[in-house]
Amino acid sequence: MTPSYVEAGKDFRRDMKYLSDRITRTSSEWPVEPGRYRLVAARACPWANRAIIVRQLLGLEDALSMGLCGPVHDEDSWTFDLDPGGVDPVLGYKRLQEAYLARDPDYARGITVPAIVDIPTGAVVTNDFPWITHDLFFEWREFHRPDAPDLWPADQREEMQEVMDRVFTEVNNGVYRCGFAGSQRAYDKAYDRLFAALDWLEERLAHRRYLMGDAITEADIRLFTTLARFDAVYHGHFKCNRTKLSEMPVLGAYARDLFQTPAFGENIDFDQIKRHYYLVHEDINPSGVVPKGPLESWWSEPHGRESV
């Protein structure tokens, strides 16, 4: 049995209760320690995709290992079906659920990615996705590569937080409000909010290359993982169909610019993305048919953003 995401007659509400432990330099329980932890993620999931991109941008591959789940999960767990024998080679698990139960045998909430697992105990430390990428930047600095980007520039953090909050509520979560709306009223409201935000982003990016100016920040990563799924999934599957990303001149070029940047496009797998959404969401795609398009060649076309 697959989970149901649509509640008849209701707006979509995201459960934002996560395991709130953090891995920090000063923690006595979960100190930053290279080789101790494993990031478990999935290229199909936009929230996990953030952590994958940040880990590579910062050069943390040697300090923090990574396990990848397959794109299709059941109501209980993400699984390691991409690995030989369907077993994560470091944790020895077939199902991510095993790491959650090692943390709490009575754990009854969602089994989500990204999750960071303590390898010695096999237990999940945290699945709080906004804090995971935040702490990879601030707490793991000793292990960043020398030329790692400044994803949280000090003089822009206040404005950047405001931008990220709006991107999360109106875009990252906005597409889900459309896709999982339980009534026409809920869908219409969600649709209008989403495209108002996308129009705002078109305007904001018309005269700056990235969301905060001339350098990539955490804000761009958080927006990118939604944009990368827009035409392939959200436009049709989630009924976000006023305009395709490829029809938005500024936002489309901005997304291609990021896609062609190391650590971004190479961590996008459109086949996994489509299989995840179209196969897992049986309540809105009961046939289980996965679309063949759109053409991926658009992502490699010139973007012209160097002149912005």
Instruction: Give binding residues for glutathione as ranges.
Output: 78
Question: Which listed residue (37, 93, 100, 176) is catalytic?
Answer: 176
**Whole-number Å distance between alpha carbons of 70 and 227:** 21
Three-state secondary-structure class, residue 197: helix
Q: Which residues are annotated as a binding site?
A: 78
Cα–Cα–Cα angle for 104, 108, 110, rounded to 5 degrees: 105
Q: Which is catalytic among the residues 37, 45, 187, 278?
A: 45
Encoded amino acid at 170, one letter: E
- List, in sequence order, every residue forming a beta bridge with 266; answer none if it has no partner: none
Query: How far is the CA of 274 from the CAs of 19, 223, 258, 294, in angstroms?
Result: 28, 19, 20, 10
Asked if 254 is an active-site residue, the reply is no
With tokens 């702490």, the residue in question is 135
- Measured in degrees and rounded to the nearest 5, phi and psi for residue 202 equal -55, -45
Q: Is 45 a catalytic residue?
A: yes
Strand order in the sheet with 123-126: 65-68, 37-41, 115-118, 123-126
Distance CA 115, CA 90 (A): 14
What residues are annotated to the active site?
45, 176
